[in-house]
Chains A and B, each alone.
Chain A
């Protein structure tokens, strides 16, 4: 594909087939936000460190600012918009509300995706493991304690729903 040619990108986002066309250099996060209108996924650094742009890519958390949209062709993606089902907050979202796991809410979408993936891998984590797990995402508001508490509290509920 030549530089400025637009290429088609077809993928499943939050269970729905979506399609768009973009230059190969377009970042996945920009594609989600601009082309698909899914502005819940945020941009905080565009170099892979802050984690605000974290999404679920084929069931695993990944940074969408250091991935090209074309690379997601054929992929299954879940963004923050797909977490609550049928108007019901996901247990992890509930826990974040209950334990004050967010203030400005800017890191929150990436934090939730990261925590979700973490809890899949560590269904019964210790506090130190939780801290290590969510250290993938920077939050400047909460000092992380509310987030740690929320993840701890959500673990049993997630285990049940599995």
Chain B
């Protein structure tokens, strides 16, 4: 299991990286944390002509707040996200989800940009991006674009990025103070990709649920934002009946597939169960009721 031969470049600026990408006309691969790409290379399932290593572009690694958002350079390590005070204060849902991403030594290298660009539907970050209505910033020879999750994720391991584009930044709106949140996940072993994961956030006002946000991991070819389920809660509040109805609706909104780890029916069922659990935990955190 040794990787095939490839050219290797380690640009130090984004522009340099973009021009290299252009030069290989789609035959090059960007190397971020390598925690998904390197296994593929070792299995020789991926055979790029060149690797363009983003690890020597310091300008791509940062966490900063602007316009009510938290902005992450694509090369920000998952480990940096996990221990960031900004994330803890403004995006506790992301912090909770991070602990489900592999293991600490994986997060040492793995990046937020890589995880989202890799578009594994069972991954946690894409679900959080969907739940919080975040955006990604993409740079290419034709300039910069900003994409919402539903514009970004196409299907399994596929995004709408062009071969000459780089995902440069991830933007997540800061969660309002007092928002309840939970990331519920069921995996076969600790550290595995989710069989089903549910990212949930609720903002409670008195007996009302002002905002509900729900998105899935593992429940289909792309993360699914469970808008109809959210609407039930926004209309009927967060009582047991409403939560059960939202969970029921969640099960209907997803179209999971079967694989060796779980059947489609079981995944659909888990979507219901975990949606309810996530909402109850989020509600408890919001201090509601």
> Does chain A touch chain B in the assembled complex, meaning CB atoms less than 8 Å apart?
yes
Interface bracket on B: 20 to 34
* Shortest beta-carbon contacts, A-B, top 6: A136-B103, A24-B8, A66-B38, A47-B39, A3-B5, A61-B105
Q: Which residues of A sit under 8 angstroms from B31, Cβ to Cβ?
A: 71
> Known contacts A47-B39, A66-B35: does B108 contact A57 (CB below 8 Å)?
yes
What is the CA–CA distance of A62 and B77 in the complex, to the nearest angstrom?
Answer: 12
Which B residues contact A (CB, under 8 angstroms)?
Answer: 1-10, 31, 34-35, 38-39, 41-43, 51, 53, 55, 79, 83, 102-106, 108-109, 189-191
What is the CA–CA distance of A7 and B2 in the complex, to the nearest angstrom?
Answer: 18
B10 contacts A48, C-beta separation under 8 Å: no
A27, A51, A118 interface centre (most CB from chain B within 10 Å): A27
B5 contacts A25, C-beta separation under 8 Å: yes
A1 contacts B7, C-beta separation under 8 Å: yes
What is the CA–CA distance of A121 and B103 in the complex, to the nearest angstrom?
Answer: 13
Q: How distant is A140 from chain B, measured CB to nearest CB, in Å?
A: 14
Residues 66-98 (chain A) with a chain B CB within 8 angstroms = 66-68, 70-71
Within the complex, which residue of B2, B6, B35, B53 is in contact with A48, where a contact is CB–CB below 8 Å?
A: B35
A14 at the interface (CB under 8 A from B): no
The A interface, classified by DSSP as helix, strand, loop or mixed, is mixed
Q: Which residues of A sit under 8 angstroms from B34, Cβ to Cβ?
A: 66-68, 71
What is the CA–CA distance of A63 and B42 in the complex, to the nearest angstrom?
Answer: 13
B3 contacts A25, C-beta separation under 8 Å: yes
A41 at the interface (CB under 8 A from B): no
Q: Which residues of B sit under 8 angstroms from A118, Cβ to Cβ?
A: 104
> Known contacts A48-B35, A66-B35, A66-B39: does B105 contact A2 (CB below 8 Å)?
no
Q: Which residues of B sit under 8 angstroms from A57, Cβ to Cβ?
A: 108-109
Q: How distant is B77 from chain A, measured CB to nearest CB, in Å?
A: 9
B8 contacts A135, C-beta separation under 8 Å: no
A7, A60, A66 interface centre (most CB from chain B within 10 Å): A66
B104 contacts A121, C-beta separation under 8 Å: yes
Q: Which residues of A sit under 8 angstroms from B108, Cβ to Cβ?
A: 57, 60-62, 117
- On chain A, the number of residues with a Cβ less than 8 Å from chain B's Cβ atoms is 35
Q: How distant is A159 from chain B, measured CB to nearest CB, in Å?
A: 18
Query: Can you list 14 pairs linking A and B with CB atoms under 8 Å apart?
Result: A23-B5, A47-B39, A48-B39, A57-B108, A60-B79, A61-B105, A62-B109, A63-B35, A66-B42, A67-B38, A70-B10, A114-B104, A114-B105, A136-B105
Q: How distant is B187 from chain A, measured CB to nearest CB, in Å?
A: 11
Within the complex, which residue of A2, A24, A68, A117 is in contact with B104, where a contact is CB–CB below 8 Å?
A: A117
A146 at the interface (CB under 8 A from B): no
A25 contacts B104, C-beta separation under 8 Å: no
> Known contacts A135-B191, A136-B103: does B109 contact A67 (CB below 8 Å)?
yes
What is the CA–CA distance of A1 and B4 in the complex, to the nearest angstrom?
Answer: 15
What is the CA–CA distance of A133 and B39 in the complex, to the nearest angstrom?
Answer: 22
Nearest B residue (CB) for A58: B108
What is the CA–CA distance of A7 and B7 in the complex, to the nearest angstrom?
Answer: 11
> Known contacts A25-B6, A71-B55, A135-B189: does B105 contact A117 (CB below 8 Å)?
yes
Q: How distant is A55 from chain B, measured CB to nearest CB, in Å?
A: 9
B105 contacts A27, C-beta separation under 8 Å: no
Q: Which residues of B sit under 8 angstroms from A7, Cβ to Cβ?
A: 8
B7 contacts A24, C-beta separation under 8 Å: yes
